[in-house]
Amino acid sequence: MGTSLGPRPLDDTVAALRSTRVLGSLDDGVLRSIAEAAEWEMVEAGEAVCEQGAPADALYLLISGRLSVVTTTEHGIERMVGHVYPGEPVGEMALLSDERRSATVRALRDSVLLRLDQSDFRQLIPQHPAALLALNRLLIERLHDLLQGRRSKVLERVIAVVPACPGAPVRALSTRLTELPGARRLRVIDATHVREALGTATIGPLGPHDRVASWLEAQEATGDTLLLVGDAEDEAWTRRCLRHADRILFVGVGTASPGGLPWSEVIANRTDTHARRRRDLALVHPDDAVAPSPAGPWLDTLDVDLHHHVRLGVRPDIKRLRRFICGEAVGLSLSGGAARGLAHLGVLRALEELQVPVDFVCGTSMGAIVGSQLALGLSAAAARASTKRGFGSWKIFDWTLPVTSACGGRWFEAHLRATFGDRGVEDLWLPFRCVSASLIRAQPVVHRRGPVWRAVLASSALPGVFPPIVEGDDLLADGVLLDNLPVHHAVEAGCGHIIAVNVINTLDTTMASGMVLPSEPLQRLAERLLPGAGRRTPGLTDYVLRSFFLPTLRDIEGIRRKSDLYIEPPVNQFHYLDVRPFDEIVEVGYGAARERLAAWLAQSPSVPRR
């Protein structure tokens, strides 16, 4: 799998073992015994260290670089399950259990490992049981994290900042990123720094043991996050940046076209598909731009995980990109809930007042309606005023002949068109996702591109109330049916702090409180029109909509585990389709969010502020 690097001085191997998390505390005698049996190997970016299903033939210790851990289902679907960082072991579970490898481990970047063959491992363990105890401790720790459902924090120390078109301001953007304060120190390194430090005019051959790679590893050991800045005129250095990085940030000019560079094949396609390094795109726009230039042509060409619209002179844009790079971005996930979802507007106000930035938004139904306005760049007050114009009166319910739905949805659509115009989801200032449900394929549909108004309309097309949206050969309905609180999109976006707001309370006793169901149809109608004292019957809409939300409520514990802060405003007293208490619902959301956010911020000083 890897390439042997040949023998190294024993003291170097002992020092490398001492740097590892699992064996670093062992005494010198044990480390020297292990070092005598260990072999040095290099694994290039994208290459496998071990394959799922293969026999367990060795234990590996990562010395430098970074690895990804991927499992493959019987249907061939790959799932990223974790990362391996310097100092951590690989393959210890299969070796200890004498089973086949449970996952495939690949190099995200050029990596150096120490390999200990199975036969040597079995000879050393009886002689040095402390090593086995150290491995067992690590296994127990990993199992505990798995059982607790903890979200692993991805630590990316080396970022390649590479031009994606001629004239891309990679150096200016990198400099702006380093000028801002943050928990992690960013440092720019370009080809000039390397040449001055090493006294060489050329970068030299690729590989982790030439002088350039050794120098870069030494810089990484300082603990700084390195921004390796590529150069459109220096292909050798830029390709080195791409190979040495944990993450790639392509930089483009919003009004330009991608490509036209020697490494355009890397821009257009992932060369490390199995390793799955994160790839981002920063599109730079003029400081006075009111709306971003269309990102569609760029996304048609580039294969990236996330794209960002930035203006070099607009501080919040640069701070947002910095938070993403450093793993400190704040993601906000908003649930559907019809009129109860108006509470999200109060959440936006609380976030604004407490100076908590939002860097990524995802939502369903009313959560999509509110979240999309935040992503558009509206303040909490402006989003509230806009939502009240569109949804603060009975105009939203334009009743029609109930063939497909009770309402025609014309007022709803007209309001969304007026709010967003022809803006695309991909052209909002904040990264945004919303979810609808495919009635044909019985699958959730994630809206990443296309007109915002249409995406939000589909996400909010409540069955029976509004008509479904025709999309090609598909019919799209409200996302509440399949994914009412899409927290996992914030996880996939790499957000380090995730806030989930659920307006569908887990326990809703109001529907049955003091309830007596009349036995006869006419009696039921009378009770609805002239409610008797002490008797309450559930409304048809409350009854049906509560049923829609049950799938999400069943997964609420999983949603909590994926979130750093879970907020559930007490909105049970409001009917799902009653928009008349608009202001009251908003204030309930504000009060609940303000209290929960203040407590969270007091306990979590690492949460960024504006």
Q: Does residue 273 have a pLDDT over 70?
A: no
Decide if 478 is catalytic.
yes
Domain-embedded: residue 390: yes
Domain check: are 311 and 442 in the same one? no
User: Are 138 and 44 in a shared domain?
Assistant: yes
Q: Are residues 129 and 225 in the same domain?
A: no
- Let me know if residue 293 belongs to a domain: yes
| Same domain membership, residue 573 and residue 558 | yes
**Average pLDDT for 174-192:** 92
Q: Tell me: do 410 and 450 sit in the same domain.
A: yes
The verdict on 238 and 369 lying in the same domain is no
Query: Residue 212: inside a domain, yes or no?
Result: yes
Question: Residue range 256-276: average pLDDT?
Answer: 70
Per-residue confidence (pLDDT) for residue 400, from 0 to 100: 84
Considering 233-237, 274-278, 492-496, the range whose residues carry the highest mean pLDDT is 492-496
Domain end point (choices 148, 168, 189): 148
At which of 308, 326, 344 does a domain end?
Answer: 326
Q: How confident is the model at residue 249 (pLDDT cuts 50, 70, 90)?
A: very high
pLDDT (average), residues 276-288: 93
Task: Quote the crossing angle between the two packed helices 129-148 and 28-37, to the nearest 10°.
Answer: 90
370 and 426 in a common domain: yes
Average pLDDT over the chain, rounded to an integer? 86
Residues 114 and 192 in one domain: no
**319 vs 529: CA distance, rounded Å:** 56
Within a domain: 511? no
Residue of 174, 293, 333, 365 marked active site:
365
**602 contacts 324 by C-beta, under 8 angstroms:** no
Q: What is the pLDDT of residues 29-60, one digit of tens each?
A: 888 888 888 889 888 888 888 888 888 888 88
Residues 112 and 176 in one domain: no
Asked whether the predicted pLDDT for residue 147 surpasses 90, the reply is no
- Same domain as 569, residue 438: yes
For residue 439, is it within any domain?
yes
CATH code of the domain covering residue 163: 3.40.50.300
What is the span of the domain harbouring residue 277?
A: 158-326
Q: Are residues 438 and 580 located together in one domain of the fold?
A: yes
CATH code at 478?
3.40.1090.10
- When divided into structural domains, the chain yields a total of 3
Is 184 domain-assigned? yes
pLDDT band at 198 (very low <50, low <70, confident <90, very high): confident
Give the model's pLDDT for residue 331.
Answer: 98
Tell me the pLDDT tens digit for each residue of 385-408.
999 999 887 788 888 887 888 889
Residue 244's pLDDT is what? 86
Backbone φ, ψ for residue 356 (5° rounding): -95, 120
Q: Mark which of 279, 300, 326 sits at the end of a domain.
A: 326
Ranking 133-137, 435-439, 518-522 by mean pLDDT, the lowest is: 518-522
Assess contact for 70 and 49: CB atoms under 8 A.
Answer: no
CATH number at residue 110: 2.60.120.10
Most confident range, picked from 26-30, 116-120, 265-269, 479-483: 479-483
- Residue 510 pLDDT grade (very low, low, confident, very high; cuts 50, 70, 90): low
In a domain, 260, yes or no: yes
Is 287 an active-site residue?
Answer: no
Q: End-to-end CA distance of the chain, in Å? A: 47
Give Cβ neighbours of residue 17 (< 8 Å, ≥ 6 apart): 23, 24, 26, 31, 34, 35, 38, 61, 114
pLDDT at 248: 94
Weakest mean pLDDT among 167-181, 252-266, 575-589: 252-266
Question: What are the tens digits of pLDDT across the range 79-93?
Answer: 777 888 888 888 777
pLDDT over 90 (residue 341): yes
pTM of the model: 0.86
Q: Are residues 322 and 342 in the same domain?
A: no
Q: 538 falls in which pLDDT band (50, 70, 90)?
A: low
Which residue is catalytic, options 110, 280, 478, 483? 478
Say if residue 106's pLDDT is above 80.
Answer: yes
Residue 64 has, within 13 A of its CA and on its CB side, a CA count of: 24
Domain membership of residue 153 (yes or no) is: no
Who's near 360: CB < 8 A, 6+ residues apart? 329, 330, 331, 332, 430, 431, 432, 489, 490, 493, 495
Whether residue 515 has pLDDT greater than 50? no
The predicted structure's pLDDT at residue 101: 84
